Amino acid sequence: MKDSFNNIINSETPVLVDFHADWCGPCKMLAPILKQVKDEMGNDLKIVKIDVDKNQSLASTYQVRGVPTMILFKNGKQVWRQSGVLQKNDILQVVKQHI
């Protein structure tokens, strides 16, 4: 998983990674917000969902202590990170700064 994850985040297109868990209520609230973000951004943004229970080593690598945690990568580098639920416009504002 780690190799394919590195291939995904090493992209000129910004990649928003959503570290989540099935049992997490706020994660379920964030899912439709991220869909709206993707619908608005189209091919200018990739969104990847990572289940922390199934990918514990990846969550540990990025020191994800709580879910949901979103990390934005560009060219393999972490350019932004936020835990908790954000509204669509807040996420869009951050993403558009890194296009």
Catalytic machinery residues: 24, 27
Phi-psi region of 77 (alpha: psi -120 to 50; beta: other; left: phi over 0): beta
H helices then E strands: how many in the chain?
A: 4, 4
The residue written with tokens 């969902």 in the block is 49
